[in-house]
Structure 1
Amino acid sequence: MATPDFIREIRASAGHQLLWLPGVSAVVFDDEGRVLLGQRADNHRWALISGIPDPGEQPALAIVREVEEETGVRVAVERMVAVRSGRQVTYPNGDICQFMDLCFRCRALGGEARVNDDESLAVGWFALDDLPELTDYHHFRIKQALSDEPTWFEPVTSQ
């Protein structure tokens, strides 16, 4: 994902130290039950569409914006499927981030799936039985979006 200007401003004074950031992702289904994926320009891997909300932006509005910006597809948010804190990531430039991912199930409303910005090499709809290689967390979010289970979060264990 491209680095938003507000994060560049924080980095100017914070340097490469760990930043805890909000993130949004979407499991987008079309009328045929296919899922929308993008091949990321930064690591060439296929992934669910994701991004960072702007300051003050509601997470559901952020994912609607991100999906359209990255893929040209307009979506409606149906529900949240997972809330998860990810692992720390160190980028090639030395920046360290950790994201709190809010994942939404979305329904495609229109638009043509296409590469719509410089964050993706390819964009496409995939049948659930013909997905490209994805991480376990991508598969988990797709499974959650297909289920009728409540929003997933890491359970608190008693001590």
Structure 2
Amino acid sequence: MPMSPYVRSLRDRVGHDLLLLPGVTAVIRDADRFLLARQRDTERWSLIGGGIEPGETPQEAVVREVSEELGVRPVIRRIVGAYGGRPLQTTLPNGDVVGYVTVAFHCELPNAAFVLEDAELIETGWFTRDQSKGIARHEWIDDVLDDAAR
């Protein structure tokens, strides 16, 4: 995924050092199944989401991210939780160290049809909690899915 102009301006100042960035995550579910997407950069499965841009509310950001990645505007139902710490810290292939703090929202899609944004995503799939544990995934999503399933 391309780096936002805001993050690029921060990287110009701090180089590869740790940046703590705010993000959003969409938890989209159909009965006991959750929508996951396999990311092009890591080839791992995760939830739909991304960074919050300057001046954007978390709610606006999750609507924008889902709209960009799936081509459909979601309906936000509630906050599932907030997540961060070591599980959401990573070193990117270019050496940049980033830590995310993300607010997860339970979202619904107005219809089942969506269009995959293939610059960032390889594919999507519906998984139960048990099925999701058997795939190559970002492990921090386990906590989000557990909280959403309650």
TM-score between both structures, scaled by the size of structure 2 = 0.85
Indicate whether 1:24 and 2:27 are aligned: no
Indicate whether 1:143 and 2:146 are aligned: yes
- CA distance in 1 between counterparts of 2:107 and 2:144 reads 12
Indicate whether 1:38 and 2:41 are aligned: no
Match of 1:12 in 2: 12
| Residues 113, 98 of structure 1: alpha-carbon distance in 2 compared, 3 angstrom cutoff | same
- CA distance in 2 between counterparts of 1:60 and 1:109 reads 17
| Residues 17, 130 of structure 1: alpha-carbon distance in 2 compared, 3 angstrom cutoff | closer
Indicate whether 1:85 and 2:84 are aligned: yes
- CA distance in 2 between counterparts of 1:112 and 1:92 reads 33
Match of 2:56 in 1: 57
Matched-pair contact (CA < 8 Å) for 1:25–1:63: yes
Match of 1:154 in 2: none
Q: Which amino acid aligns with 1:2?
A: P
Q: Which amino acid aligns with 2:83?
A: R
Q: How many residues matched?
A: 146
Matched-pair contact (CA < 8 Å) for 2:47–2:141: yes
Q: Which amino acid aligns with 1:7?
A: V
| Structure 1 runs not aligned, ≥5 long | 148-159
SS at match of 2:110: strand
Runs of at least 4 residues off by over 4 Å = none
Match of 2:101 in 1: 100
Match of 1:150 in 2: none
CA offset at residue 104 of structure 1?
Answer: 1.0
1:45-72 CA distance string (max 9 Å, x none): 1111110011010101101110121122
| Residues 72, 108 of structure 1: alpha-carbon distance in 2 compared, 3 angstrom cutoff | same
1:6-54 CA distance string (max 9 Å, x none): 1112212221111111011111124x55321110001101111110011
Counterpart mapping for 1:60-79 below 5 A: 60-79=59-78
TM-score between both structures, scaled by the size of structure 1 = 0.81
| Structure 2 runs not aligned, ≥5 long | none
- CA distance in 2 between counterparts of 1:4 and 1:106 reads 24
Match of 1:114 in 2: 115
SS at match of 1:106: strand
1:76-115 CA distance string (max 9 Å, x none): 1111111122323111111111111111111111362332
